[in-house]
Structure 1
């Protein structure tokens, strides 16, 4: 409503006050026909724009699983897929394999059956080390043979067993955000080594808690990218806990900022934005919707001397008369109107360009 009031103020500034219900006024001979717009019936949508950040989903840290000296790290921005090394310790690769069950035990012959065995066998088959291997929950001699083939191809000791110092299971490829250690560092299990994200682009919005009504899971939005292109998106998550950001300059610099909630937006399609991370974007959200209402351009409103608003109806033959209306929602440069005798298709006067 505040946005609508601002539009209305601009549209009616300088408009002479007129009287509702005045006499019909036919156009004088030789006069130019007044500019008109049509009263339409349809949905009226008001929008609000907020700032967001184009980034990647699913940020998480990766800690070391073995002691030693870091001998290789990927470069920030690198995408690491199944079968590739996340990093190396003492020149031994820690390899990414796809799976959802963490490697919480050493996988070898004689262990109890389990889903972690199945996901190892699936990964070995995908990587070409067990084409005749059955992906089930049992670690068989065939599984051990496939593991030894994989270890040989990766420069690892051919033990036939797999532990967390060799493999990290994650659901999908990851993108390296930053390294938490440097080549040559001596590390111990549990020390942070990498920070990664998924490869899925998302938009993150720190939405003011007072504007929470704007963000509804599943709602459609429009995102303007850094290159000026606009892409549609959908809100996929809305935080439930309001957080108060630290004030600029540190905790001792004055009042903290307004509480915010986290909103994540999934983009439709792949945006043509390269590999930009933490890039600013503008998100347009729907703030109000009125369905099936009559509306006119905001500039068609007239401020009435006795108060309220009216529109100038233009009948066939350019006969004009002012009628009082009640205003409702605003959106897209239009305003909802109601009043006796109004219907879609009628013409109203608007300021000439």
Structure 2
């Protein structure tokens, strides 16, 4: 029978195992010692001591790890100012009618050629297109007080015989006496013709006649020659036009019947109420195209040149193209306007048009930004602004890829880049971007 004997460590004479607490304490001391050594090495490295004898290691990585080339480009300085989108400043309509206002349009309504702007004594005041204001009645008159003797026209064709008589009358200095009121001759003339020798009519002449006849033809009332003469044929067309407006068919247009503008208008607000007498500010208007007005600093308005292109930033973050249309010639008082940014500096109004009205969407009024081009430097050496370093001796410099520093002169800053120049700077040279 075999007997198995098991010896303990103590019986084999081996040293007793250290208690667990002693093992843990020894590991703690070793770890702490290692941390002290690592920290010491880090301090020595930071001070540039030991190992390398204080010399830089050429294989050491750069501080940033990135280099960029010096490039040749065109730098453009862009500046952003605040503006206001709208329809422009409202101005009074030059209404020359006298009487009582019996109808007014709603604010914001668009009126085109031939449309009614308002009614005075229940007569329409009509919008026509033109730059010459209405300053007199237009129509055929008796005698020779206005214009020169007229000629009879049938459907726009001039009568040779009547023209000869008119020419003879002008050469002799004579004129025909007007037909008595209520006579057959007068009635015939009132219908638009020149009756025999008993009723002479004088035609108006002038650019205002040409402007009016051009509008009349554009509205579809023709049968006359568009020129500077208001003839019988013109009067007949006017009667047809008056019939469509519900007016008496007189063939004469009163000075208060028409208001001229350069194009269609947008009604602003009424300065009177229904039933009031017509005043100078009875109704205001603007153009129908939205535009932007910037109160630009009078000291920094060199960018505001008619035709200059700008970029308009809308409230929704989109941008549209604009163009400077006009620049005010009178600066505001510093105490009144407050310049850009509320600085109180004198300002001038700059009006900017938007060619693509659809790009503005449905906005009618909103604060916007206007970005314009200020200075520009073409074909210059540039680097990112972040590549510039401040030199101990003053000024700016660049760090080359091999760790050297070269002084540079800076120029225009734009779009995150800067213009640099100097005897040691060349296109394609690699420079570091410091951290």
- 1:245 CA drift (Å): 5.6
Higher mean displacement: 61-70 or 116-125? 61-70
Are 2:367 and 1:267 equivalent residues in the alignment? Answer: no
Residue 37 of structure 1, aligned match among 45, 63, 68: 68
- List aligned pairs for 1:109-148, cutoff 5 A: 109=140, 110-130=202-222, 132-148=223-239
CA contact (8 A) 1:244 1:256 kept: no
Are 2:425 and 1:335 equivalent residues in the alignment? Answer: no
Quick one: higher RCO (CA 8 Å, sep 6+), 1 or 2?
1
Deviations 1:149-207 (A, max 9, x none): 1111111111111012221122211111212122x23214x432111111233221111
Change (3 A) 1:192 1:245: farther
Task: Determine the C-alpha separation between the residues in 1 that align with 2:260 and 2:307.
Answer: 30
Change (3 A) 1:26 1:125: farther
SS at match of 1:147: helix
CA contact (8 A) 2:108 2:266 kept: yes
- Counterpart residue number, 1:175: 266
Change (3 A) 1:277 1:342: same
Deviations 1:78-104 (A, max 9, x none): 111001001112221111111222111
SS at match of 2:331: coil
- Counterpart residue number, 1:14: none
Are 2:300 and 1:211 equivalent residues in the alignment? Answer: yes
- Counterpart residue number, 1:185: 275
Runs of at least 5 residues in structure 2 that lack an aligned partner in the other structure: 1-54, 141-201
Task: Determine the C-alpha separation between the residues in 1 that align with 2:106 and 2:362.
Answer: 14
Task: Determine the C-alpha separation between the residues in 2 that align with 1:202 and 1:85.
Answer: 25
Residue 164 of structure 1, aligned match among 250, 255, 258: 255
- Counterpart residue number, 2:433: 350
Change (3 A) 1:240 1:191: closer
- List aligned pairs for 1:12-91, cutoff 5 A: 26-28=58-60, 34-57=65-88, 59-91=90-122
Change (3 A) 1:278 1:33: closer
Are 2:290 and 1:198 equivalent residues in the alignment? Answer: no
Give the total of aligned pairs. 316
Task: Determine the C-alpha separation between the residues in 1 that align with 2:71 and 2:208.
Answer: 62
More strand by share: 1
Change (3 A) 1:271 1:223: farther
RMSD: 2.6
- 1:311 CA drift (Å): 1.3
Task: Determine the C-alpha separation between the residues in 2 that align with 1:102 and 1:292.
Answer: 53
Task: Determine the C-alpha separation between the residues in 2 that align with 1:50 and 1:297.
Answer: 25
CA contact (8 A) 1:24 1:320 kept: no
Change (3 A) 1:122 1:247: closer
Runs of 4+ in structure 1 off by over 6 angstroms are none
- Counterpart residue number, 1:3: none
Deviations 1:314-338 (A, max 9, x none): 3xxxx44322211111111111111
Change (3 A) 1:156 1:25: farther
More helix by share: 2
Change (3 A) 1:173 1:24: farther
CA contact (8 A) 2:203 2:231 kept: no
Task: Determine the C-alpha separation between the residues in 2 that align with 1:32 and 1:302.
Answer: 13
CA contact (8 A) 1:72 1:91 kept: yes
- List aligned pairs for 1:288-307, cutoff 5 A: 288-307=375-394
Are 2:412 and 1:323 equivalent residues in the alignment? Answer: no
Change (3 A) 1:141 1:245: farther
Change (3 A) 1:33 1:66: closer
CA contact (8 A) 2:320 2:360 kept: no
- 1:26 CA drift (Å): 4.5
Change (3 A) 1:330 1:285: same
SS at match of 2:404: strand
Alignment TM-score, normalising by the size of structure 1? 0.81
Change (3 A) 1:181 1:335: same
Change (3 A) 1:33 1:186: closer
Higher mean displacement: 31-40 or 325-334? 31-40
